[in-house]
Structure 1
Amino acid sequence: MPSLFARLAVPAAATLLLFFAAPTSAANFTCTTPGATCQSAIGYAVPNATTYGELVARFNTTTTLPELLGANNLPADTSPSAPIAAKATVRIPFRCRCGSNNVGQSADGPIYVVQPQDGLYAISHNVFDDFVTYPEVAAANNITDPNRIDVGQKLTIPLPCTCDQVGGATVMHFAYSVAKGDDTSGIAAKFGVNADTLLSLNKITDPKSLKQGQILDVPLPVCYSSISETSPDHNLLVPNGTYALTAQDCIKCSCSANNYQQLNCTPVQDRRCPAPQTCDGGLKLGSPTNGTGCDSKICAYSGYSNTTSLSIHTALVPANQTQCQKGGAARSEVAGSMWRMSVISFHTVLILICFL
C-alpha cells in the first residue's frame, strides 16, 4: 500500500502556500431565482499555447466545440487542432445554474482530474485563471482539508455566473478578469454596457479601485428572441458578435447589431436537418414582409420539438419587436402628455372666462 504522502497530490511547498495565500478575487455572482438555468461565459486567458480541442477537453461537460466556436464567432468548420497562442483570451460558454444559496455556478462541471504535484491553489490559479478560489473548489467538492487531495481525484470546478435580469432586461452574464491598465469606463465601452450599471452590479464605489485579476460581472446585451417558452432552447441568449447553434445544430442564430435587433436565425445546410416550417403566406425562415417600420414583419425562428422526429417551428413577428414596443410606449406617453395639455388648456380657458 502506498504511503499517505505518496497519495497526496499537493507538495509541501504548496501546502504552506494554502495556509498563507489570500483568496483571489473570483466573484460569487448573486442569483435571485434558485433553480434557474441559463447560458453564461468567462473570458479565459489560456496559460500556455493550446488548441480549441484541448480547451473543450479542459472545460469538459460544460462546453462543446460548436459552442466554443460560436461564442468566439469562429467559422463552424474550424479544426479542433487550430492553435491558440499563450495568453490569448478565449470566451468559454457554459450552462449556469442558480443554487438554493442564491449563488450561481456552472452546472455539472467542468471536471478536473488531480495530477501529481497539484494543489487546490495551483488548480484554481494556474489552470482556471482565478475564476474560482481554492476555498470555493474545496466547498464544491466537500473537501474539509484543502491540503489533502489525491492524485486521480475528480474535482468539480464551480465557475461564477448568474441568470438574473439587469434593469428589467435579459442579458448574458460574462465573467471578466480585469487586465493591467483596465478601467470601468473602458471595460463598459468594450462590451457595450452602461458604465454606471457595471459599477452598480459589481458593487464598486470607487472606479479607480479595480485590481488586476479582479473578476467582474459584465451583463452582455442580447438580441430579442421569438423562441416559444415550450421550446427546449427557450432561454437561448446570443450576445452581439457571436452565434449559437440550436435545434440539434440545425439552426444557426446570430446577433450582429444591438440588443434591440430581432435574433437572426437561419437553417444549417445539412441533409440530416429537416426544412423549417414556413410562416403564413408561405414565407420561409428569415424572409420579411413588404411592410415598413413597425408594420414590417419577419418569419422568425420560434423553437423546435422532437417528439417522434425533429420539427423546426417559425412565427411571423415584428421585424424589430423591442424598438416598436418602445416606440409604442413612447407614443402612448406623448399622447398622454397631449391629453394632459388639452385638459390644462381647457381649465385655463374656463378661468379666463370667469375673470371676464
Structure 2
Amino acid sequence: MIKVCSVVGARPNFMKMTPIVHELARRGVEQFLVHTGQHYDARMSDVFFDELNLPKPDVFLGVGSDSHAKQTAAIMVAFEATCLEFRPDLVIVSGDVNSTLAAAIVAAKLMIPLAHVEAGLRSFDRAMPEEVNRVLTDRVSDLLFASEESGVTHLRNEGVPEARIHLVGNCMVDSLFKHVDVAVSRSPWNEFGLEPGSYALVTLHRPSNVDEIEALRTLMATINRVAEHLPVLFPVHPRTRARLAQEAIATTPGVRLTDPLPYLTFLGLMAKAKCVLTDSGGIQEETTALGVPCLTLRENTERPATITCGTNRLVGNDPAQIEAGVAEIRAGHWPTGSRPPFWDGHAAVRVVDVLDAWGAERGTPLT
C-alpha cells in the first residue's frame, strides 16, 4: 500500500487540498498531512481547518513569515526531516506558494514521487514569485494535474511527457460547491449592513499593487470613487493594512475595511456581491464558478479560462478601466460567463482515480 503525504502551508492550499484529503480518506488510503505554517495566523489558517473539516495536521512545521529565501529554506530543512521520519511513497503539493516549491524540491531530491495539483498555469511574468514557484514545481513533478486546458497546453509546450499530464478540473471549486449553500444561508452581509447584490468586494495582496506605493495610492483613490456609487467591503491582508497605515492612505466612509474573514463568511459575501475587485488568482476562479463579475487588478493572469469562459476581466490598476468596468456591471451589461470543463465539483475524485491507476501500474495500489 502507498503512504501519501499531502502538504499545505498557505490559505489557498487549504481549499485545494481538502477535497483530495477527504477522497483519499473515503477510499481508506494511508495518508498524513503536513502544515508548513507559512500562514499561521488563526484568521489565515486555523479557521480553514475548522470550516473545511480538514483534519488537524499530523505534522506542523511552524516556519512562519520571512523572506522568500529564508522561508523556503526553513520549510525544506523541516520537511526533509519529516520525510525521513515518515517515509511517504508519494508527496502531493498544490498551487504556487513557497511551501509548494520547498516541499517539491525536497521530494525530488529524496527521490519521492511528486504530484502537483494545479499544474501548468502560467502568467509568463517572472516578477511574480508565484510564477517561479509554479514553473520549478512542474519541472520536478511526476504527476501533473491541470485545472484548465491552458495548463495542459503549457506543459506540452514545455516538453512534459503526455503520460504525466492529467486534466482533472479545479479542486478549489470542489470546496466551493460543497460549502456555498451553507455560506449564503448565514447571510454574512448583514454583519456589515449590506444588501445582497448591492456591494463590491475587494481584495489586494500582490506586491505590484501593495508594495508599489504609487500603485496602491492610485488603486485606493479609485476604490474610493467606486464607493460613491456602490458600497465597498475590503477585507485587508495584514501586509496591505501595514502599507495603508505606513503611507497614511485614507478611505472614504463608503469603503469598509475589515480583518481577513473566515472562509464561509467570505464565500457567502462573494457569492452575493455585485462585483469583485481582486488581484487574487483563486478569487478569479471562484467568481467564475459562481458567475459573479470580477475585475482583476493585474495586467496578466495565469488563469485565462476565467476570461475566455468565465466572468473575469483584466483591468490592471488603470482607474478608467476599473471605473468603466464597475459602471458596466451596475448597468447589467456584464457577460454571464460559463464554467470551464471539469469545474463540476468532482476534480478530487479524478485526481485520486489517476493516483490509483498510477499506483497499480507500479504494483503499489493505494488500498
TM range (shorter): under 0.3
TM-score by length of 1: 0.27
Higher relative contact order (CA 8 A, sep 6+): 2
Structure with greater strand share of residues: 1
- Asked which structure has the greater CA Rg, the reply is 1
